[in-house]
Amino acid sequence: MTTTERHRLSFDPIEEAARQWSARWDETQRMRAVTSLMRVHQLVLTELDELLRPLGLTFARYEVLVLLSFSRRGALPLGKIGERLQVHATSVTPLVKRLEAADLISRTPHPEDGRAVLASITPRGRDVLAKATEAIVQAQFGLGSLDEADCARLTELLTPVRADAGDF
């Protein structure tokens, strides 16, 4: 369901929550910010997943394909995929299994590390990745209401939070 198909409220629920919050607790501005951030995350992820669904992808699976396409050989150990996507290794396995079942990647034993498994993007995976990327770029990553300067500022605003959390 798109934004226009969804019932629109006659008020901003985050602003109403902030009004009520401020009568009880501190940190109203941070509550507003994090609630807005989480809501935008939901909206963007829903839009991107809807765009990718006809290609048999979710945004998470798309990220794996992008990451593999960025690697020199089109292949990475599963542990590296989790590390680079900043998710737990147990989250990578179901993504990889789905991509393999769709013939978008293949899994093989690592030639130098017997304990590791390599995921490699297939030619079909590269074709689907190209179509998916075209759709996402055309949709401006779900952030079409922001201009380039706004996107740069948003990234700048979020970078210290990521750095403080140990992202990099």
pLDDT in tens, 51-105: 999 999 999 999 999 999 999 999 999 999 999 999 988 899 999 999 999 999 9
CA atoms within 13 A on the CB side of 72: 0
On whether the CB atoms of residues 40 and 134 are closer than 8 A, the answer is no
Instruction: Please check whether residues 32 and 84 belong to one and the same domain.
Output: no
Calpha distance 44→50 (Å, rounded): 10
Instruction: Please check whether residues 50 and 76 belong to one and the same domain.
Output: no
CATH number (domain holding residue 73): 1.10.10.10
Instruction: Please check whether residues 49 and 99 belong to one and the same domain.
Output: no
The domain in which residue 43 lies consists of: 11-55
On whether the CB atoms of residues 44 and 154 are closer than 8 A, the answer is no
Residues paired with residue 121 on neighbouring β-strands, in sequence order: 105
pTM score: 0.90
Count of domains for the chain:
2
The DSSP symbol for 2 reads: -
Instruction: Please check whether residues 90 and 19 belong to one and the same domain.
Output: no
Instruction: Please check whether residues 62 and 123 belong to one and the same domain.
Output: yes
Instruction: Please check whether residues 36 and 61 belong to one and the same domain.
Output: no
